[in-house]
């Protein structure tokens, strides 16, 4: 029997779902290399490989067989061939612009464990999709709002979440689309550098975000009485400020967000929260010539920084702070720990805190490749974002399930 690859689900799975990989028809204890490849929408190639040995029966099941040393990872890692994908072009990030089309994953089984791949024994293709059948993608251009709403299948009402991305501008849909597959009406909200939104804003007005909250609450398929917010980095900061100043915010999940205003001031009605001072000269060089920016901000818990602190004690929402212990852009663990102490001192218990070792600034949904070194969102220089491959892959899966459980509980 010729070797063949067996996948479950066979042809197509959601990007954040596990994929079971097995090879049958090998020789007893045959040594093979498995390789995965995926091209992004610009054509850049991501690859991972691992070395395996088949069982006595010629079967190789990644859920039971550990990878041997010498590949992208080793040990028992059933999803290693997906989470270990790395760009062939250095410092390139895997981004999904068009969530209506899947990524195409190529799998190959190659003979032997050599530095150069051996003969091709088997290959397969698999689609990694962002939208479950029946999920609707609705472009939103209402008033000033520029966004995309993702609605789960069916005519029911669903808990509503607004997903707010970090600095970098544009409209970012992958996380919102994946959340909709899990039963949430999710609005991916752009807030600058998109269509007719400001290109270089000198402040962000919370009234814009308030309009998005009202849009969601007026939607016939959004189950009230309030909405949840999922924010990353600057988007997390905006989400925390929305909870402090706006009504109808029930739950906020903050991914590596500062708890003070940074880079661009926030204002609401007649109040402006100034930014923490940034000291670019405090960036530290690493031994690989990248910059570590983790110490460039004023401490928001010490004057003069505390003018920039978001008054979270005013918020009625539930908070879930998710932080990477190796975040090199913001001291997110310190920010979240200290703000939880402040809330506790005021007799509040409306917060949860999840801290992940070996996890850097970017916390994406499961199985996105680690983006540990990239462009700094403010200084646009090559910066250490932080994170370590295996630890990060575990954090992604755990955090994603916790985010969904949190919103199910409070929405």
Told to judge if 219 belongs to the known catalytic residues of this protein, a careful annotator would answer no
Q: DSSP H helical segments within 100-233, as ranges? A: 174-181, 206-218
* 3-class state of residue 293 by DSSP: coil
> What are the two backbone dihedrals, phi and then psi, of residue 180, each rounded to the nearest 5 degrees?
-65, -30
Name the CA radius of gyration of the chain, rounded. 22
Told to judge if 361 belongs to the known catalytic residues of this protein, a careful annotator would answer yes
- What is the DSSP pairing of strand 249-255 with strand 318-324? parallel
Q: Name the nearest CA neighbour of 253 among 273, 268, 267, 238.
A: 238
Q: Which of 13, 72, 233, 239 is catalytic?
A: 233
> What are the two backbone dihedrals, phi and then psi, of residue 69, each rounded to the nearest 5 degrees?
-60, 150
* 3-class state of residue 236 by DSSP: helix
Q: Which of 126, 205, 361, 376 is catalytic?
A: 361
The DSSP call for residue 299 is: P
Q: Which of 16, 298, 327, 364 is catalytic?
A: 327
> What are the b/e assignments for 302-331, b being 16+ CB within 10 Å?
eeebeebbbebeebebbbbbbbbbbbbbbb
Told to judge if 205 belongs to the known catalytic residues of this protein, a careful annotator would answer no
Residue 262 in tokens: 């940074």
Q: Name the nearest CA neighbour of 233 among 271, 273, 264, 194.
A: 264
Q: Which residues are catalytic?
A: 233, 327, 361
């Amino acid at each position: 029997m010729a070797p063949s690859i067996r996948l479950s689900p066979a042809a197509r799975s959601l990007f954040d779902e596990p994929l079971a990989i097995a090879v049958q028809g090998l020789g007893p204890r045959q040594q093979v290399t498995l390789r995965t490849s995926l091209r992004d929408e610009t054509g850049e190639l991501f690859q991972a490989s691992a070395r395996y040995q088949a069982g006595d029966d010629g079967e190789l099941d990644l859920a039971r067989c550990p990878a041997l040393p010498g590949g992208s990872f080793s040990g028992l890692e059933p999803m290693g061939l997906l989470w270990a994908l790395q760009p062939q072009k250095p410092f390139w990030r895997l981004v999904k612009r068009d969530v209506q089309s899947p990524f195409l994953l190529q799998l190959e089984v190659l003979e032997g464990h050599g530095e150069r791949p051996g003969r091709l024994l088997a290959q397969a293709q698999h689609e990694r999709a962002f939208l479950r059948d029946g999920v609707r993608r609705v472009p939103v251009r209402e008033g000033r709002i520029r966004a995309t709403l993702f609605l789960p299948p069916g005519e029911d009402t669903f808990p509503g979440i607004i997903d707010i991305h970090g600095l970098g501008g544009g409209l970012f849909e992958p996380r919102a689309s994946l959340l909709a597959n899990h039963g949430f009406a999710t609005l991916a909200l752009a807030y600058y550098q998109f269509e007719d939104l400001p290109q270089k804003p000198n402040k962000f007005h919370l009234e814009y975000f308030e309009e998005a909250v009202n849009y969601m609450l007026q939607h016939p398929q959004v189950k009230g009485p309030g909405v949840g917010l999922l924010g990353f980095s600057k988007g997390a900061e905006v989400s925390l400020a929305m909870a402090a100043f706006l009504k109808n915010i029930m739950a906020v999940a903050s991914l590596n967000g500062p708890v003070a205003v940074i880079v661009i001031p926030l204002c609401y009605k007649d109040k402006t929260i100034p930014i923490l001072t940034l000291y670019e000269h405090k960036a530290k060089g690493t031994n690989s010539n990248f910059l570590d920016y983790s110490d460039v901000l004023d401490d928001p818990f010490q004057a003069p920084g505390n003018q920039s602190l978001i008054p979270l004690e005013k918020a009625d929402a539930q908070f879930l702070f998710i932080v990477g212990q190796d975040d090199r852009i913001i001291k997110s663990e310190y920010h979240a720990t200290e703000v939880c102490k402040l809330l506790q001192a005021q007799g509040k218990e409306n917060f949860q805190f999840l801290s992940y070792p070996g996890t850097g600034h970017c916390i994406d949904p499961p199985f996105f490749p680690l983006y540990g070194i990239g462009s700094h969102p403010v200084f646009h220089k090559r910066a250490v974002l932080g994170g370590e491959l295996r630890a990060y892959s575990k954090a992604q899966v755990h955090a994603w399930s916790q985010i969904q459980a949190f919103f199910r509980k409070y929405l």
